[in-house]
Amino acid sequence: MAKGERGELIAAAQALDALGFMPSKSGNLSTRTKRGFLITPSALPYSATLPGDLVEVALDGTVLRGKRKPSSEWRLHAEVYAARPEVEAVVHTHSPMATALSCARQGLPPFHYMIVMGGGTDIRCSDYATFGTQALALAGVAALAGRKAALLANHGVLATGRTLAGAKAVAMEVENLARQYLALLGAGLQPILLSPAELEDVVSQFGGYGRLG
């Protein structure tokens, strides 16, 4: 893993942290490597993270390279990479609005056309499991089936991509959608959901713009 790619991972983590998506050193990011994946370390502020602090981990949890302890959520990342060979990057955040929605154990319905950024017609919320456990990893992968994003019950956001930039963009859009959805509900309004045919038109249009790649 080149230093430039390590720098990209740190820059993405710091950008999300600056947006308030990673309170109290929460959340974690990773990118796939030939031997496993490179992940942000445990208990280190993103503002202080350096390229050498990142940890390369095998899918079975073996630390391949790095002096620090990997994020406690390494199992979540490992299970996503094992289940989804097309995924090259995983972003897990505790962004405020999406996390609030996850605490109601509700997902996002197709109330806005940008829902397709999540890879389907909705964004599901997983079953609840304790953070850092294999149970959470399996619940996250199940909710992610056929999607690029899911909410983790009472926890946060799980986003994936074929690139780190793509996974970061998905995580940011999930937070934006959650903010809009909660604003509607808070105003006492019920959103008008898009039909399957309308969503198909959106996917077709987005494909022309290269938005879903």
CB atoms under 10 Å from CB of 130, counted, come to: 10
Residue with tokens 């996250």: 140
Q: Which residues pair with 160 in a beta bridge?
A: 90
CA angle, corner 99, sides to 96 and 101, nearest 5?
Answer: 110
Residue with tokens 């390369």: 56
CA angle, corner 187, sides to 143 and 102, nearest 5?
Answer: 20
Name the 3-class secondary structure at 113.
helix
Helix axes 3-18, 164-186, angle to 10 degrees: 10
Q: Which of 110, 106, 107, 116 is nearest to 195 (CA)?
A: 110
Q: Are strands 63-65 and 89-93 parallel, antiparallel or unpaired?
A: unpaired
Active-site choice (73, 79, 88, 175): 73
Residue 175 falls in the annotated catalytic set: no
Which residues are tagged catalytic? 73
